[in-house]
Structure 1
């Protein structure tokens, strides 16, 4: 067991939210600029918050906890 705790990655803490059950939530990408060419339906879907996929969880959780 290590003597000290490693610092959490502050960039990951800003981008992701941990739910009560331990899942990670994230915002979708591609919503910052060049929105004129995207359809309103596409922009509406980009507003949603989604869960992080199972394959990506292990690497992210190491940096958060």
Structure 2
């Protein structure tokens, strides 16, 4: 069998952790920032974990992660 390909979009957006979890960055912090409050923008910084309900889709996009 040939090797399975990893989705390029997924490898740019997600990182897998040693314990099996997947981390991601927050969305909504690229443009139209003037109407968003400082608190909201501050809380969108950094990373968070992918929800369990979405893990099946992420695993399918990244077969070797």
Fold shared per TM-score above 0.5: yes
Coordinate RMSD, CA, aligned: 0.8
The normalised TM-score by structure 2 is 0.89
The normalised TM-score by structure 1 is 0.89
Structure having the higher Rg: 1
Task: Return 5+ residue gaps in structure 2 as ranges.
Answer: none
The partner residue of 1:43 within 37, 41, 61 is 41
Q: What is the CA–CA distance in structure 1 between the aligned matches of 2:23 and 2:34, rounded to whole Å?
A: 27
Task: Return 5+ residue gaps in structure 1 as ranges.
Answer: none
1:41 partner SS: helix
Counterpart in 1 of 2:52?
54
